[in-house]
Amino acid sequence: MTDELTRLLGSAADHLLSMRRLNALLPLLPAALTLLLTLTGCGQPPVSAPAPPRPVKTLTAPAATRAASLSLTGEVRAHDEVALSFRLAGSVLTRRVDIGARVEAGEVLATLDDQTGQNQLSSARSEVESARAAAQLAALNLRRLRALMPSGAIARVQLDTAQSDWQTARARLESSTAALNTARENLRWATLTAPAGGVITGVSVAAGEGVSAGQTVLTLAQGDGRDAVVDVADPAVIARHAGDPLQVTLLNSPAIAATGRLRDISPQADPQTRTWRVRITLINPPPGMMPGASVIVTLPAAGAATLALPATALTRLAGQPAVFVLDTRTWRVQRRVVVIDHYSATAVFVSAGIRPGEQIVTAGVRTLRDNERVAGEAGNDE
């Protein structure tokens, strides 16, 4: 009985001791739970917030329209023009024609003061005569010494000297003869003649002025062919009309008209005006359309109806031109292939693939993806 009581009292004492220890740990229980949860979450990746929608600029697609006819102002020029010049430098003695004069092939148009040329010709003639006389004397002396050589009357060196003198005299004669021919040519070049029949369209010098060799003196329009010449800022505007009949009218007399066809477009822009020169051949031009007259060239409306978009809206899809179209219900974008009719410096003209009223992304298309959600205000193209 005593042993059983002793065992029960020991168990009760152990239980009381355990309860005291538990009560001492209770204040630390919340901190321990927090630490446990923190350590448990370290092995899992954090959940990132979704990226915000990309802001974009859009444009409401306008209605497709057909381009109206375009008028360009220019002037009539000769189909074939030749710049005429002297081959020599000198002072202009006479100029026998003015602008508008009709000339025939071989007609004298202008002359240089040829006094210097005449003096050179006289000097060359004198030099030829002197050289000819010297050559004749050298030849005579050579023949005489050759006749004496067999008899031993002269030394061999004398014959060799005579041979050398004759060769020198002959070379001098040839040189002076060439100089005489050059002087004659120069004298002929002092006269400017028409290489073909035509009309004088430009006069660059007057009598008494000095000119250099090759300087333009007159401009000659050969034949009766005429062109309308215009300058354009965008060569593509007129290149589309290659082969089409173009209406050309006089600026001051619209009743005087002719039909023209595109002849050529300058391969590069003028560095000063940044425009391209275009020549349009006139077909059977009326007499009133003379070189120098101001004309209006009318380009007819051509091609399909198009709508204009900024060039920044253009992207690619499977190697074809495309644009991003915004669905305003979901605010997601999708690429769509379009048909480009033509381009300008800042815009593209679409003939198919877009319906009027659709929202087209106009900026940032290089970084967009299909079905990407975007933000912005529809039509905020400003």
Q: What is the pLDDT along the chain (382 residues), one digit of tens a residue?
A: 455 545 554 554 455 445 555 455 445 545 544 544 454 445 555 556 667 888 888 889 888 877 666 788 999 988 888 899 998 888 888 999 998 888 999 899 999 887 777 777 788 889 989 989 988 998 998 888 888 888 878 788 888 888 898 999 899 999 989 988 888 887 788 889 999 888 888 899 988 888 898 899 999 988 778 999 999 988 888 888 888 899 999 999 989 999 999 999 999 988 988 899 999 999 999 988 888 899 999 887 666 788 888 888 899 998 899 999 999 899 899 999 999 887 777 888 888 899 999 999 988 888 889 998 888 765 555 4
User: What does the alpha-carbon distance between residue 316 and residue 313 come to, in Å, rounded to a whole number?
Assistant: 10
Domain boundary among 299, 317, 340: 299
For residue 77, the cross-strand partners are: 227
Closest among 330, 380, 324 to 59, alpha carbons compared = 380
Residue 332 in any domain: the answer is yes
Residue 231 in any domain: the answer is yes
Q: Which residues of 284-314 are buried (b: 16+ CB within 10 A; e: fewer)?
A: ebeeebbbebebbbebeeeeeebbbbeebbb
365, 315: one domain: yes
183, 137: one domain: yes
DSSP-assigned states of every residue in 282-338:
EES--TT--TT-EEEEEEPP-SS-BEEEEGGG-EEETTEEEEEEEETTTTEEEEEE-
**How many domains is the chain partitioned into structurally?**
3
Residue 180 in any domain: the answer is yes
Q: What is the dihedral of CA 27, 33, 35, 40, to 10 degrees?
A: 170
328, 286: one domain: no
330, 270: one domain: no
Domain boundary among 189, 213, 248: 189
282, 245: one domain: yes
120, 178: one domain: yes
175, 237: one domain: no
320 is in which domain, residue-wise? 55-65+305-378
pLDDT in tens, 77-91: 888 888 999 988 888
310, 256: one domain: no
Residue 242 in any domain: the answer is yes
User: What does the alpha-carbon distance between residue 292 and residue 273 come to, in Å, rounded to a whole number?
Assistant: 21
131, 181: one domain: yes
Residue 2 in any domain: the answer is no
Q: Which amino acid is at 25?
A: L
pLDDT of residue 36: 45
Longest dimension (CA), the chain: 188
163, 229: one domain: no
pLDDT in tens, 87-124: 888 888 899 999 888 899 989 999 988 777 777 778 88
Residue 171 in any domain: the answer is yes
Q: Which amino acid is at 159?
A: L
End-to-end CA distance of the chain: 104
Residue 40 in any domain: the answer is no
Domain boundary among 299, 319, 338: 299
Residue 331 in any domain: the answer is yes
Structure tokens at 285: 């031009």
294, 310: one domain: no
315, 340: one domain: yes
Structure tokens at 306: 């198009």
